């Protein structure tokens, strides 16, 4: 199998995103992906074992890029409240800028088989850990409440962002997804701040 690097590999990944978003995962035959990438069917199998491997690789590549970019942005923000907002912004803007990828992650991945779901698990965990780092930093600084489990808070944050993105995809982008950044930020901060801070800002 060829090394998973280079222009041709990236061309196939990008073509797969477009094809899966347009036709749905179950109707996205390897031949369609090959035509979209302008390569021979056999070329796909130089890089991927099968269609499941293509979808897993799409998620790992695109999500990996997103996690790296998000981590770099968070390192440039000085306050934990600002980091939370940046996390929200990066999550929603990443999908708003590429609706095809949003369709793949919010709809098609959820209809995939257990092999695909297992294949993307570790990459998804990397994102969960990034969210938890922000939560723990807020707790350590005394900004975020400590009476709730980190995992529970992470599920609340991710679930809120995930639902906002899914709703945007299902409504075919008929509302401004990025307009939700500040309302979501305020909502999450109100839930995460210590009670004493809430009293001070009331």
- Complete domains list, the chain, with CATH: 51-201 (1.10.357.10)
pLDDT digits over 13-23, tens only?
A: 999 999 999 99
Confidence of residue 195 (pLDDT cuts 50, 70, 90): low
Query: What is the reported pTM?
Result: 0.91
Higher pLDDT, 122 or 1: 122
Cα–Cα dist 98/93, whole Å: 9
**Does position 198 have pLDDT exceeding 70, yes or no?**
no
* CB of 113 closer than 8 Å to CB of 52: yes
Cα–Cα dist 160/35, whole Å: 37
pLDDT digits over 16-51, tens only?
A: 999 999 999 999 999 999 999 999 999 999 999 999
**Which residue in this structure is represented by tokens 């035959």?**
29
> CA 52: distance to chain centroid?
19
One-character DSSP codes across 83-142: HHHHHHHHHHHHHHT-HHHHHHHHTGGGGS-HHHHHHHHHHHHHHHHHHHHHHHHHHHTT
């Amino acid at each position: 199998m060829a090394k998973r690097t280079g222009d041709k590999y990236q061309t196939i990944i990008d073509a797969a995103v477009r094809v899966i978003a347009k036709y749905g995962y179950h109707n996205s035959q390897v031949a369609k992906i090959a035509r979209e990438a302008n390569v021979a069917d056999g070329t796909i199998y130089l890089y991927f074992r099968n269609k499941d491997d293509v979808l897993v690789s799409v998620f790992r590549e695109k999500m990996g890029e997103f996690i790296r970019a998000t981590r770099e942005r968070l390192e440039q923000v000085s306050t934990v409240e600002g980091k939370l907002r940046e996390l929200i912004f990066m999550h929603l803007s990443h999908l708003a800028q590429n609706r095809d990828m949003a369709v793949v992650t919010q709809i098609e991945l959820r209809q995939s088989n257990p092999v695909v779901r297992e294949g993307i698990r570790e990459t998804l965990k990397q994102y969960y850990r990034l969210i938890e780092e922000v939560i723990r930093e807020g707790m350590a600084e005394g900004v975020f409440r400590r009476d709730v489990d980190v995992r529970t808070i992470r599920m609340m944050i991710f679930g809120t962002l995930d639902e906002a993105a899914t709703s945007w995809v299902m409504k075919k982008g008929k509302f401004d997804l990025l307009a939700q950044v500040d309302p979501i930020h305020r909502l999450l901060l109100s839930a995460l701040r210590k009670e004493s801070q809430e009293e001070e800002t009331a």
